[in-house]
Structure formats: structure tokens, C-alpha cells
Structure 1
Amino acid sequence: MMKTISILTAAALVAVAGTAFAGTDTFRAVNTYDGQVLAGQNGRTLYTYDKDANHLSVCYGSCAAKWPLYLANPSAQPFSKYSFVVRKDGQRQWALNGEPLYFRANDKKPGDVTGDGVSNLWQVARPA
């Protein structure tokens, strides 16, 4: 009986964990002093990089350390204007209209937009 309860509890936890990554809360709009920006599940601002090509990220190494990728979990599915860029290592990075999406390491809380305009190459992403 105890073994059955433990198995059922584990199965319930797996089901709940799986649903935490599914659904429509992958992106959200966040208000900033510069208007609404697109944010990830964590509420932090997302950015695009002008050096990227459509459906291709060129941000690796130290670039990716400063601009963390918005990675999709294995069960995520593309929808509307949101798709994936497949990186060299096989990870799937979220993209908006084919443009890979990134966070900024210097942004610490929802509404921070410290990366907008950096090197005239980074822009905040706007809600689709």
C-alpha cells in the first residue's frame, strides 16, 4: 500500500511539473518607463540582436554570458509569431518573427531595460 501511494505521489508531481512549462504563460507584456516590452516567464525583458540572421543566432560564448538565451523546454510548441531557433548544440531558443530572444544579465527585475540600445545592436522586444 505504501509503495502504491509513493508511486501515485511521484506521478502527480511529474504531471504538475510538466504543466508548469506548458500553456500560454511563456511570454508576457511588462510595463516599463519606455512602454510595454515582451518578457519571459520570469517577467524579465527580452531583447533581439541585430547581428542575428532570421532564424539564426550568432550570440555564443561571452555574448551569451552577457545576453542569456531564452531557451524553450522540451515540451514547448511554437505558436502564433513565436518559433524556435535551433542552436549549434541542439538547444531550442525562442524567437519572435524569426528573431532569437535573449535576456540581459544586467537586468535584475521585471521592468528593467538596461540592454535597450546597447552598442546600437540590441533592442527590447515588443509584444506581438
Structure 2
Amino acid sequence: MAGVLVLALVGVSCGSDDGGEAADSPADSPASPTATKDGSGTAPTSEATTSEASEPDGTAITTAASDYGEVLWGPGRQVVYIWEQEPSSTPECYGDCAVAWPPVLTEGEPVAEGQVDAGLLGTTERRDGSTQVTYNGHPLYYYAHEGPGEVECHNVATHGGLWWVITPDGERAA
């Protein structure tokens, strides 16, 4: 019974599975984060680096330890996820999905930091014309209700599929 309650609470904390398709959502950054629960300090601390003056700075993607090993993180110490419903770089998370799982957007070329493989880092265009960061050919997302340093939604099913944190080799974490 306790296991069912834990699973139910995890599912609730990671959004609903309504799969609704609403109008495109700009959702370019995570919702206001809450404080870190455990204060473990395992989240990244690096900030975006600067690029050439003639080009806008790209979003920095870095690595740091988590309960799932070394995984990718975006700005603001937000862990990033991939979605099993996106087998290619074409984004499929829009509407309600993009409200719960905001895309990791960039204004310039994304910047690889830590153990991030620059060769796996890329971009894709969203329907609204914004540029989303990809890794190993998969669009990256935040979970809107996680605070800095939190990893609450790995291997959780919402919006019709599982969400996973991603390792530096471009695979989902175990």
C-alpha cells in the first residue's frame, strides 16, 4: 500500500497525463523554482559562458552528479529531460505538455560545459520559430515544478510517455 502511495505522489508531482494539445506555448523557461529539498549540493553551479561578441550567447548545458549518476543540467541548476515520444529531433511536446515540460530554448548555439559532448549538442526549430536545444538528437525539456538541483521526474509517465534525465553519452539514465 505504501508503494502505491509513493508512486501516486510522484505521478502527481510530475504533472497530469491529460495529453491535451492546446495552442503553442512559449514556455521558454521553467516556472519559478522552489527551494532544493535536500541541499545535497549535487546540482551544477556553472553559468553560461560567453561566445563571440557578434553572436548571441547560447544556452549552456553542463553535467553534474545526481541520484541517477552524472546527468545533464541547464541554466539555473535545472535538470533537463528527454521524452520517449520523441524518437527524433522533431519536437512533439506542445500545449499542455509544454506548460508542464517547458522546452530548453536558446538564442545562439548551445554551449557544452562539464562532460557534455559538444558533438551531441544541437538545435531544432519549434513550430513557433523558437530554437530548442537537443542532445543526441532528442529535444531537451525542464520540468516546470522542480526547483534548482531537484530530480523528481525521471522515469515518470505523463502526457503519453516516459520522461528521462540524460547522461553525457546521450542515453537515458538507468
- TM-score higher than 0.5 here? yes
Query: Residue by residue, what CA displacement relative to the aligned partner does 1:6-29 show, whole Å, maximum 9, x if unpaired?
Result: xxxxxxxxx9xx68825xx71111
5+ long unaligned stretches in structure 2: 1-49, 112-117, 170-174
Is 2:21 aligned against 1:21? Answer: no
Q: C-alpha distance in 2, partners of 1:102/1:20?
A: 21
Richer in helix (by share): 1
Aligned to 1:11: none
Superposed counterparts of 1:55-66, under 5 Å:
55-66=89-100
**Residue aligning to 2:142:** 103
Q: Deviation of residue 46 (structure 1)?
A: 0.5
SS of residue in 2 equivalent to 1:71: coil
Instruction: Look up the equivalent residue of 1:99 and give its one-letter code.
Output: H
Alpha-carbon separation, structure 2, partners of 1:32 and 1:20:
30
| Structure 2 letter corresponding to 1:113 | V
Does residue 88 of structure 2 align to residue 54 of structure 1? Answer: yes
Q: Distance in 2 between matches of 1:28 and 1:117?
A: 21
Equivalent positions of 1:104-119 (< 5 A) are: 104-110=143-149, 112-119=150-157
Q: SS at 2:79's partner residue? A: coil
**Unaligned runs of at least 5 residues, structure 1:** 1-14
- Aligned residues of 1:30 and 1:43 also touching (Cα < 8 A): no
Q: Does 1:126 align with 2:160?
A: no
Question: Separation in 2 of the partners of 1:126 and 1:44?
Answer: 14
Distance in 2 separating the partners of 1:41 and 1:127 = 16
Structure 1 segments of 4+ aligned residues over 6 angstroms from their partners: none
For residues 64-101 of structure 1, the C-alpha deviation after alignment (integer angstroms, 9 at most, x for no partner) is 0111110011x325841111111111111000011000
Task: Work out which of the residue numbers 57, 66, 78 in structure 2 matches 1:32.
Answer: 66
Higher gyration radius (CA): 1
Aligned length: 109
Identity %: 27
The answer on 1:86 being equivalent to 2:101 is no
What is the root-mean-square deviation of aligned Cα atoms in Å? 2.5
**Structure 2 residue aligned with 1:76:** 109
Amino acid at match of 1:46: V
* Alignment partner, residue 12 of structure 1: none
For residue 126 of structure 1, give the secondary structure of its aligned residue in structure 2.
coil
Q: What is the CA–CA distance in structure 1 between the aligned matches of 2:110 and 2:147, rounded to whole Å?
A: 27
TM-score with structure 1 setting the length: 0.74
User: SS where residue 121 of structure 1 aligns?
Assistant: strand
Using the TM superposition, give the Cα deviation of residue 34 of structure 1 relative to its aligned residue in structure 2, in angstroms: 2.1
